[in-house]
Amino acid sequence: MQGYKPIAMEAIVAMAPQVILISRRHLTDSDQLNELFEQFPLLRHTPAAKDQALVAINGKALIGGFGLSTLDEAERLYQTWLSQP
């Protein structure tokens, strides 16, 4: 089995992620974040949601293998987290 695999919301909560990466096409503003929590209410119970650490990423950078856009996105995320205390 290759590619992305589905995961149950309960499993995500059990992993207790400190950060959750979400495609920009699904998360462009706070209204969409509220819609996401309405659709997946268990996400509210993760440390990432409690700390508002849901990060919108360029999902296309991860589709179809790694390329220059993947590196650009990785650098952007690194700079974002590097600036965190």
How far from the centroid of its chain's Cα atoms is residue 47's Cα?
Answer: 13
What's the CA gap between 42 and 12, in Å, rounded?
A: 9
Q: Note whether 40 and 8 are within 8 A (CB).
A: no
* Most confidently predicted of 7-16, 20-29, 32-41, 48-57: 7-16
Q: Is there a domain that residue 4 lies in?
A: no
Q: Is there a domain that residue 73 lies in?
A: yes
What's the CA gap between 62 and 11, in Å, rounded?
A: 22
The CATH number linked to 60 is 3.40.50.1980
- Model-level pTM greater than 0.85? no
Mean pLDDT, to the nearest integer, of 1-11? 78
**73 torsion bin: left (phi>0), alpha (psi -120 to 50), beta (else):** alpha
Q: Mean pLDDT for the chain?
A: 83
Q: Note whether 42 and 71 are within 8 A (CB).
A: no
Model pLDDT for residues 29-40, shown as the tens digit of each residue: 667 788 888 888
- 79 pLDDT higher than 60: yes
Which of the pair, 23 or 44, is modelled with greater confidence? 44
Range of the domain at 77: 16-82
How does DSSP classify residue 71?
H
36: its two tokens: 């996401």
How many domains is the chain partitioned into structurally?
1
User: What pLDDT is attached to residue 48?
Assistant: 92
Q: Is there a domain that residue 1 lies in?
A: no
